[in-house]
């Protein structure tokens, strides 16, 4: 089987399921270190570029399809199977992995079992190191509007699994199903003043270029300087993938309970 993945989350999970050798092309948004010898495609790449690789399967998502609305029909007319799978929520991730496993010729039961093993390991590590502590964690999802993660987002669920508590539990998603929730400076300062931010976590990536150094340069930084400041890559905190889950869980446990 020859597979082209047009979304980094699909790529990560295919690799985690042991099917990396079936990938013949990936997204330009994939990490530069991920299968660096493979051709890369943007959301608006033409069908001819993809067809030149003679794929059997192209995996995409609805956002990419909206950006390139004619791609599917051209590929399917050429006999290529196109499947769109959107990034799953926390509770839907096992089902997503099973579907992906079937599509890529992997074992769906083994895929789900791997997910549960990773989650159990994160929870066990957190329980061992926390000694009953559960720090209040605020996630800066974007610095421009000071948005945070919505309470049911992947990031919020991962923080809970790793032993933390979401300091912005009362935030409301910008729209139904969104992982982003408006919060704003006033609420951050109020939470900090009342001791409800013990860890200020910066999600670093395409959505947010901020880092601890730039945070310290903000005029209101003194209000939160007593909190522990840390940055976590977006792919580890918010991307629904086995690779991101494992790395992100380990990273968060170290931030929450390390020295």
Same domain, 80 and 139: no
Q: Are residues 57 and 141 in the same domain?
A: no
Containing domain of residue 67, as a range?
3-86
Backbone angles phi, psi at 36, to 5 degrees: -65, -15
CATH number at residue 150: 3.40.50.1980
pLDDT of residue 210: 94
227 and 139 together in one domain: yes
DSSP-derived 3-state class of residue 110: helix
pLDDT at 259 over 90: no
| Tokens coding 132 | 């009953």
Helix and strand element counts for the chain (H, E) = 11, 11
What pLDDT is stored for residue 133 in this prediction? 95
Query: Do 142 and 214 lie in a common domain?
Result: yes
Q: Is residue 172 part of a domain?
A: yes
Whether 142 is covered by a domain: the verdict is yes
Q: Is residue 116 part of a domain?
A: no
Q: What single DSSP character describes residue 87?
A: P
Q: Does any domain span residue 122? A: no
Verify that 34 and 151 share a domain, yes or no: no
In angstroms, the CA 119 to CA 254 distance is: 16
Task: Determine, yes or no, domain membership for 149.
Answer: yes
H helix intervals, 137-220: 154-161, 185-193, 212-216
Does 42 fall in a domain? yes
Tell me the whole-structure pTM to 2 decimals: 0.93
Q: Is the pLDDT of residue 43 over 90?
A: no
Number of Cα atoms under 13 Å in the Cβ half of residue 245: 27
* Structural domains counted in the chain: 2
pLDDT digits (tens, 9 = 90+) for 156-203: 999 999 999 999 999 999 998 899 999 999 999 999 999 999 999 999
Average pLDDT value for residue range 17-45: 96
Predicted local distance difference test score (pLDDT) of residue 250? 97
pLDDT above 90: residue 144? no
The strand ranges marked E within 130-237 are 136-140, 147-149, 165-166, 180-182, 199-204, 228-233
The reply to whether 76 falls in a domain is yes
Strand partners, 200: 138, 229
Q: What are the pLDDT digits (tens) for 85-105?
A: 999 999 999 999 999 999 999
Q: Pairing relation of β-strands 199-204 and 165-166?
A: unpaired
Q: Establish if 126 belongs to a structural domain.
A: no
Q: Do residues 231 and 204 lie in contact, with contact meaning Cβ atoms separated by under 8 Å? A: yes
Q: What is the mean pLDDT of residues 108-118?
A: 98
Q: 149 with 250, same domain?
A: yes
- Contacts of range 65-68, beta carbons closer than 8 Å, 24 or more positions apart: 67/43, 68/43, 68/44
Tell whether the model's pLDDT for residue 238 goes beyond 90: yes
- Structure confidence at residue 22 (pLDDT): 98
């Amino acid at each position: 089987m020859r597979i082209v993945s047009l979304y980094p989350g699909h790529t990560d999970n295919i690799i985690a399921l042991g099917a990396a050798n079936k990938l013949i092309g990936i997204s330009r948004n994939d990490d530069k270190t991920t299968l660096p010898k493979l051709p890369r495609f943007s959301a608006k790449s033409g069908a001819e570029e993809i067809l030149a690789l003679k794929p059997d399967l192209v995996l995409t998502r609805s956002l990419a399809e909206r950006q390139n609305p004619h791609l599917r029909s051209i590929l399917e007319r050429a006999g290529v199977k196109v499947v769109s799978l959107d990034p799953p929520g926390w509770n839907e991730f096992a089902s997503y992995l099973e579907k992906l496993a079937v599509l890529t010729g992997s074992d769906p039961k083994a895929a789900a079992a791997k997910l549960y093993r990773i989650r159990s390991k994160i929870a066990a590590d957190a329980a061992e190191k926390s000694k009953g502590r559960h720090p209040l964690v605020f996630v800066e999802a974007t610095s421009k509007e000071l948005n945070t993660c919505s309470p049911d987002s992947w990031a919020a669920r991962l923080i809970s699994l790793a032993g933390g508590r979401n300091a912005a539990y009362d935030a409301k998603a910008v729209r139904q199903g969104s992982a982003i929730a408006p919060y704003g400076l006033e609420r951050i300062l109020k939470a900090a003043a009342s001791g409800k931010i013990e860890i200020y976590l910066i999600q670093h990536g395409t959505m947010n270029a901020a880092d601890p150094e730039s945070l310290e340069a903000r005029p209101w930084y003194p209000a939160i300087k007593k909190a522990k400041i840390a940055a976590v890559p977006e792919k580890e905190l918010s991307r629904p993938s086995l690779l991101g889950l494992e790395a992100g869980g380990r990273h968060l446990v170290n931030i929450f309970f390390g020295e």
